């Protein structure tokens, strides 16, 4: 699962990527050429830290999220639009972190001549909507040609439903609305498979501010997606400090937690992901990533394919219950370890012990 960091030139997207990944990519004037950089990082999770203290494992593994810094979005404001290679890269992303500029800096001129975060947000959204509309209209043209040629043996009712569905998408896009807010049935999801429509992908908006600037709300931005305001440059400076210096800095400025940690967790949630945990005595505490709605059998497959094949049952307890009771022995004595079958829907924060036999 990959999140593409996007934004207009000089918005601070590479600064954000460096901050998130402890990277050192050069920051400066964009060349306008496609440039892609990828890094995987740990998802901060106090629950993993707590389990680590209780079980004292030799190894601790956090959940991961992958960020992709995508350069070359200068075309978003050009008549030629987005290039083919850039579109291919964007289509492959599971979601976007959209960085919009709010900070003022005369040494870093804005390509549009002035700083207007809501205008920049609309610019990128409009570009995505137009690209989606072109793709949907092409699909409708192919469907119409197929209908005129007799459907190539396809069921006429099914062809009609597909035409009606893509016509509905075209109407939404023509009104200047992204597809992100639409809901689709299972059959419609199949029709969309392989299209990778950009305005449909989940998006987290990062408003890159200077310290002390008034925050922008989702209502003001007129978006239905998550939005976080943060001084990216300050966050980078905090990230570059040692652990003790960072703690002192945050204490002095009354910062409870770096905005960066919240951003990473929101990124994780944006993709519809949750974590379950395993704790093997003194060996390993591990946070595993699954899609929300995954079953115990699917969770077992995340750990190992052999465990999935030989699945018998799962012993389940919530993180909160386990911590309140003090450990597995106490939970078992209190009768709080539940036995669940293959179809159990794993909840965020469940601690699982999978019983299996091959």
The dihedral formed by the CA atoms of 292, 295, 301 and 306, expressed in degrees to the nearest 10: 170
pLDDT for the residue 78? 43
pLDDT tens profile 240-249: 777 788 788 8
pLDDT one-digit tens code per residue, 170-193: 999 999 999 998 899 999 999 998
Q: Which of 78-87, 124-133, 314-323 has the lowest mean pLDDT?
A: 78-87
Q: Domain extents for the chain?
A: 293-356
Q: Quick one: tokens of 172?
A: 């939404």
| Cα atoms found within 13 Å of the Cα of residue 337, Cβ hemisphere only | 16
- The span from the CA of 92 to the CA of 225, in Å, is 20
* Relative orientation angle of helices 117-148 and 156-174, to the nearest 10 degrees: 160
Whether CATH 3.10.20.30 fits 293-356? yes
Instruction: Categorize the per-residue pLDDT at 26 as very low, low, confident or very high, splitting at 50, 70 and 90.
Output: confident
1: closest CA among 35, 45, 40?
A: 40
Predicted pLDDT at 217 = 80
**Residue with more model confidence, 270 or 282:** 270
* Distance (Å, whole) CA 234 – CA 242: 14
Average pLDDT for the chain: 88
CA distance 4 to 92: 9
Full-model pTM: 0.85
pLDDT band at 153 (very low <50, low <70, confident <90, very high): low
Is residue 122 within 8 Å of 189, Cβ to Cβ? no
């Amino acid at each position: 699962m990959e999140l593409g960091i996007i934004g207009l030139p000089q918005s601070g997207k590479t600064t954000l990527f460096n901050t998130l990944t402890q990277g050192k990519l050069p920051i400066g004037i964009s060349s306008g050429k496609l440039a892609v950089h990828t890094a995987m990082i740990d998802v901060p999770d106090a629950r993993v830290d707590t389990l680590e203290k209780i079980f004292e494992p030799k190894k601790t593994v956090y959940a991961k999220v992958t960020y992709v810094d995508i350069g070359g979005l200068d075309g978003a404001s050009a008549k030629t639009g987005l290039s083919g290679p850039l579109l291919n890269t964007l289509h492959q992303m599971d979601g976007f972190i959209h960085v919009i500029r709010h900070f003022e800096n005369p040494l870093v001129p804005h390509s549009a001549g002035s700083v207007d975060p809501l205008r920049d947000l609309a610019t990128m959204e409009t570009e995505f909507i137009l690209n989606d509309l072109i793709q949907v209209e092409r699909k409708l043209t192919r469907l119409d040609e197929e209908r005129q040629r007799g459907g190539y043996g396809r069921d006429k009712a099914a062809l009609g439903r597909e035409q009606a569905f893509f016509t509905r998408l075209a109407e939404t896009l023509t009104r200047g609305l992204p597809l992100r807010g639409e809901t689709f049935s299972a059959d419609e999801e199949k029709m969309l498979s392989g299209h990778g429509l950009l305005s449909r992908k989940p998006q987290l908006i990062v408003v890159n501010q200077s310290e002390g600037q008034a925050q922008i709300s989702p209502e003001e931005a007129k978006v239905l997606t998550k939005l976080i305001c943060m001084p990216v440059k300050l966050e980078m400076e905090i990230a570059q400090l040692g652990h003790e210096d960072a703690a002192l800095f945050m204490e002095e400025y009354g910062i409870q937690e770096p905005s960066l940690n919240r951003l990473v967790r929101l990124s994780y949630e944006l993709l519809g992901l949750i974590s379950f945990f395993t704790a093997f005595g003194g060996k390993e505490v591990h946070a595993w990533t699954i899609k929300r709605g995954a079953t115990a059998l699917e969770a077992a497959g995340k750990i190992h394919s052999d465990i999935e094949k030989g699945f018998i049952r799962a012993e389940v307890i919530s993180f909160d219950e386990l911590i309140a009771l003090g450990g597995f022995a106490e939970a078992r004595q209190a009768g709080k370890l539940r036995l669940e079958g293959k179809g159990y829907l794993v909840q965020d924060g469940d601690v699982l012990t999978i019983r299996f036999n091959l």
